[in-house]
A and B are shown apart, each in its own frame.
Chain A
Amino acid sequence: MAIKIFVPIDDAACSVGANEVALEIKTEAEKNNIDIELVRNGSRGMLWLEPMVEIEIENIRYAFGPVSKNDVKDLFAQEFYKNNTHPLALGETEKLPWMKNQQRITFQRVGVIDPLSISDYESHGGLTGLRNALKLTGEQIVSEVTESGLRGRGGAGFPAGIKWRTVLKTENSQKYVCCNADEGDSGTFADRMLMEGDPFTLIEGMTIAGIAVGANKGFIYIRSEYPAAIKTMTNAIKIAKEFGLLGASVLGSDKSFDLEIRAGAGSYVCGEETAMLESLEGKRGVVRAKPPLPAIEGLFNKPTIINNVLTLASVPMILSEGAQMYKNLGTEKSKGTQVFQIAGNIKQGGIFETPFGVTLNELVNNYGAGTLSGKKIKAVQVGGPLGSYIPVNKFDTAMDYESLASIGGMLGHGGVVVFDETVDMAQQAKFAMEFCVEESCGKCTPCRIGSTRGVEVIEKIINGQNKAENVHLLLDLLDVMTDGSLCAMGGLTPLPVRSALENFPEDFALVSSPNGAQ
C-alpha cells in the first residue's frame, strides 16, 4: 500500500519552501522505489514548523518539521515513513501541545484534508449541515443560527442571526449573500488559510445562508493580495458546481444557489461592508451612509447578507451539530470559539482556535513562546491596525469582546501582533495615522484631513516642538476623529494612537501619561 505523505500547499508554507520539499519528496520516493501518495493539504497552523511534513501510519498522523528540501534525502535514508526517530520528528500531530489545547470548530478540517477533494470533505463531516438545512424552513435555519449566539468575525461582532432575519423578512425577488474576504488587517490570515485549506466549508456556509433567506446568488470578495486563495476558491467553486453542491438544484433539491468570486484592487477600506458593496458594483470603494442597512438595500440595492469568511464557515457546523453545542462554548456573551492569529515578533506564530476567554498571556507567552528575537515583549496590538497597543501589565485580560472593550481595546478579526522592546511606540502611533492617510476613502473630513494633521502633530511631538501644546492638540484631534467619522477607519484610528500615548509616554519623551501632568 502506498504511504500517505502530507505536504501543505498553503501559501504561508509555500513561502518558506513547501513546494520544493514536495518535489524533492517525489523525487526521492521514486529513486528509492517507495510507493507514496503525496497529499497537498492545508496548513495545521503551526507556522513556525512550516514546511511541516506529515505521514500517516494506521490512521494516525505524525509530524516532521520544519523540513527544508535539503533534509529530504536524509528523511528517506532514515526511513521516516516507518519510524519516529529522525531529529525532525515532532510526534503525533494531534498530541502536540499547540494542537491538543485547541478546540477546532471552524478550522476542524484545515490542514487535515486535501482542500479540493470533495470526497475528503464529505468523509470529514462536510455537507451534513447543508443536508440538514435543506430539510428546514428558512425561518428554522435563521432561528438555529440566532440560537447558537454566533457573532460576526469580521470585527464588529454583530449577531449573525439578527442580520439574517432582517434579510429573510425583507421581501424581494432578488437577494444576495456576500462574503467579506478582504482580510486587510495586519496580523490576520485566518480567512486566507480557511479558503486555501477548506474552501468547501465556506461554500457550504454561504449556500446555507442563501437557502435560509431566499438568496440564489452569492459573491466572495477576496483581496488581490491573496492570489493563491483566489485560485483555490475558483477551483473549489468549479468542483462544487460539477458535484451539484452549487447550481440550479442544490444537492438535488428545489433550491438554487450560485457563487462568483470578485477580486479587490488594493484598498483597505473596501473591507468595510458598504465600501465592499460599492466595489462589487464596480465603483470607487467609498463608504455608504447607513441607513439603509445592507440587509435591506445592499448589493445593487437588493437585500444582502454580508458576513466575514469565518462567520460563514462556522455555519455548517452549527447546522450539523446543533446550536446548543456551539452555544456551550465560550463566555456568557461571546459564544463559541475564536480563531486567534498569533503574529509579528513571535517564536511560535500561527492559528489558535479556542473558546473565548483565553488570556493574552496564555496566547503570547504559553503557546507563542515569547518573541522571535528573544527580547522582552513590550506591546501587543490586538485587532488589526485600528486596534490598541496593549502593554504587558494588562496581559491577564481575557480575550473576548467585552473584556477587551473594558480596557479600551477590541478583538477585531482576532489578530495578535507582538512587538519586542526595541519598538518605538511614537513611530507606531505615527504609522497608524499614515495608514489612515493612505487608506481613507475621503468621504469625511476628520478622517481625510485629520489623519494628515495627525501625522504632522505626532512628528512635532517626537521632535520636541511645543510638547504640551501639541499633545493637547493631538488629543483634541483624536476626539474629533472618534466622534466625526462615518466609519471605523477614521473612528478607530485614534485607538492605536491613544493607547501608544497613554501606555508608553516615555516613547514620546513625556514624563507621564498625557492625562496626568506633562
Chain B
Amino acid sequence: MGNSTTKFQPFSKEAALNLIAPFARVEGPVLLALQATQKEFGYVDRDAVEVIAEVCNVSIAEVHGVLTYYSDFRTIPAAKIEVKVCVAEACQSVGSRKLVADASAALNTKMHSQSMDESVQLNQVFCLGNCALGPAAMVDEKLVGRATGEKIAEIVSQIKKEYA
C-alpha cells in the first residue's frame, strides 16, 4: 500500500530545503528543524539530516546525535497511523500488559513494528496523562481512555476511512 496518504508529503531534498531554510534564523534550531521535518514527511530521511546540518550550520554528527537521542523520531517512512499504548505504572495497575497483547492481536502488529499492510505502527509510551482512566492509548493524536484492543481497532479503522 505504501504511503498514499495526504497526511505526509513525499520526501525530496528540495522540499526539505524549503521547509528548513527559515530555521537558519532561529536560536538553537536543530530539534525544531527535525520536528518540522518529521511532521511534514512522516520521518527524517538521511538526506534531511544533511540539509539540516547545512542550514543550521552544525555538523552532521550533531544533527544525528539529536535525532537518535529522542524516541519520537523515525528514520524510516512512517505508517499512516501510529498507535501508542501506555505501559507506565498507573496503566500497569489496570491491565496495560494485557492491553499491549490485545492491541497487537487486534491490529495484527507486534510492539515497535508495523502491520503487514504497513498502515499501522504500534509503539509503547510512558504515560499519556490519562492515568485515572487507564489503560490509556493514543491513536495518532486521539487519546483513548479505558482502552481495549477493540476500541483501538475501531478508531484505527475510522481514521483509515478518513484517509481513503
Contacts and interface: CB of A to CB of B under 8 A. Distances in A.
Main secondary structure on chain B at its contact with chain A?
A: loop
Question: Chain A CB within 10 Å — which of B30, B129, B133, B134 has the most?
Answer: B129
Main secondary structure on chain A at its contact with chain B?
A: mixed
Interface in B44-97: 62, 65-66, 69-73, 84, 88-94
Contacts of A435: 88, 126
B130 interface: yes
A184 B72 contact: no
Contact of A385 (B62, B72, B88): B88
B70 A341 contact: no
Interface string A408-446: 000000010111100100001001000100110000000
A282 B33 CA distance: 9
Contacts of B110: none
Given A265-B70, A344-B89, A435-B126, A189 B132 contact: yes
Interface in B103-149: 125-134, 136, 138, 141, 143-146
A294 interface: no
Given A265-B31, A266-B70, A282-B29, A186 B127 contact: yes
A225 B133 contact: no
Contacts, number: 151
A12 interface: yes
Nearest to B88: A186
A225 B129 contact: yes
Interface of A: 11-12, 14-16, 47-48, 50, 183-189, 192, 224-229, 262-268, 279-286, 300, 341-346, 349-350, 372-373, 381, 385, 415, 417-420, 423, 428, 431, 435, 438-439
Nearest to B26: A282
**Interface size bracket, B side:** 35 or more
Contact of B143 (A11, A263, A350, A431): A11
B35 interface: yes
Given A267-B71, A284-B69, A417 B131 contact: yes
Nearest to A438: B126
A111 to B, nearest CB: 14
Question: Chain A CB within 10 Å — which of B35, B62, B131, B133 has the most?
Answer: B131
B27 interface: yes
A94 to B, nearest CB: 21
B129 A282 contact: no
Interface in B11-48: 27-35
